[in-house]
A and B are shown apart, each in its own frame.
Chain A
């Protein structure tokens, strides 16, 4: 065989392998796509219901959502309506100043600005120390429930003279979360009209 023929044979063989693998991938992707979508939706719904109880709305907040830019971050707002009246909103937030990268949060806020619940969506804080912000690890994240900007609170950890507990061995993580929650409440107060104006 000439060199060109060898190169041609190699290229064709490789292409045949790639085609075969591609077809198998396509088939598996088609078979699993529906289930994967359902799974993702279920996870999102269960997180959403932890920050806004399912009894508090009668629409589908997962489809009734809007994205609003906030500096260089885009917040997603899930609107919860009851009898076509605004009831609450679940707002995504990011705490950029954690101990290790961004902490992504979902914050449920009632129409008049009280926190219903806060949950951590993802984080890379130290296991055993900073991960106590997770609801499955400790109840700390529940301390936000029912708080609002109307309360006379200092929004930081006790170590800095604030009204929120830190955890043993970790101050940076709770400080970052508290700041992000406070900023989200302020942001919500400024944008509440925009969020619900189409009603």
Chain B
């Protein structure tokens, strides 16, 4: 059962996207996507955490005992998230202040526990790492798309305050600045996050249903 299937490995990017299909990790997805730079920072932290936990779970899977596997996953995830949090606090302090409670809350992102249980605990380290990257990137991309749209509509800027993440590499000027005094406020308020996520899921479903019509191959649902 361990033969390599690329489609299965890459499914986290689109077909089985954690945010749009599995609807995992909605709390950070909805709460932190109010600006592109917040989304990018939390996306990167989530990818790093997922990569480390998946690899750790996979590397220690021979000692794993079935009855205590869940506490062990939780222990590993909590340890990794705490380490990542301390590193962000030390090396990107302003981002740490901006994301605040959402860094420790990565622990509660069910996507990470789900990947450990469903995938990493039964695969070699390299496969677990690839799976972490595809699912992590799939999640982060949705987070960043939501952050960008909400920031653009709600504040009229894109990637404002990027110096908080990149230091001197990026100035405080946003990538795009529409110079509007006040955007459509609902976009950066919590309801805007729900509306936008709903629209993204609907768009994804519409695309998935449109495909079989254009090609002759039968519907393959997973």
Contacts and interface: CB of A to CB of B under 8 A. Distances in A.
Do these two chains interact? yes
Interface of A: 9-10, 13-14, 17-18, 21, 24-25, 28-29, 32, 35-36, 39-40, 42-43, 126-129
Contact of A35 (B34, B72, B90): B90
A25 B83 contact: yes
Interface string B47-73: 000000000000010010101100110
B188 A127 contact: yes
B91 interface: yes
A28 to B, nearest CB: 5
Contacts of A127: 34, 154, 185, 188-189
Contact of B76 (A10, A13, A17, A28): A17
Interface of B: 34, 60, 63, 65, 67-68, 71-72, 75-76, 78-79, 82-83, 86-87, 89-91, 93, 97, 154-155, 182-183, 185, 188-189
A13 B63 CA distance: 8
A29 B86 contact: yes
Contacts of A24: 79, 83
A101 B41 CA distance: 26
A146 to B, nearest CB: 27
A42 B188 CA distance: 30
23 contacts: A10-B67, A13-B63, A13-B68, A13-B72, A14-B71, A14-B72, A14-B75, A17-B72, A21-B75, A21-B76, A24-B79, A28-B86, A28-B87, A32-B87, A36-B90, A39-B89, A39-B90, A39-B93, A42-B93, A43-B97, A127-B154, A128-B183, A128-B185
A13 B76 CA distance: 13
Contacts of A40: 93
Nearest to A13: B65
B85 to A, nearest CB: 10
Given A24-B83, A32-B87, 14 more contacts: A10-B67, A13-B63, A17-B60, A18-B75, A21-B76, A24-B79, A25-B83, A36-B86, A42-B93, A43-B97, A126-B189, A127-B185, A127-B188, A128-B154
Nearest to B188: A127
Most buried by A among B67, B76, B79, B189: B79
